[in-house]
Amino acid sequence: MKIDTGCLILDKVIRTIDSLILLILSEGEDGKAIRRD
């Protein structure tokens, strides 16, 4: 039970971090494009 719960939490954390990284990267690319213009 404890191991399963830990895996589920880790999975959610990894997915959250992954989505945050994608958001930061996309925002960074938009920022660079705006600065170049």
Alpha carbon distance 17, 12 (integer Å): 9
> In Å, what is the CA distance from 19 to each residue of 5, 35, 37?
21, 24, 27
Three-state secondary structure call for residue 1: coil
pLDDT at 24: 86
Q: Which of the two residues, 29 and 11, has the higher pLDDT score?
A: 11
> In Å, what is the CA distance from 9 to each residue of 5, 18, 19, 21, 34?
6, 14, 15, 18, 37
pLDDT at 10: 92
* Domain range summary for the chain, segments of one domain joined by +: 1-36
Residues 5-28: tens digit of each pLDDT: 888 999 999 999 999 999 888 877
pLDDT at 31: 57
Q: Which of the two residues, 4 and 2, has the higher pLDDT score?
A: 4
pLDDT at 32: 61
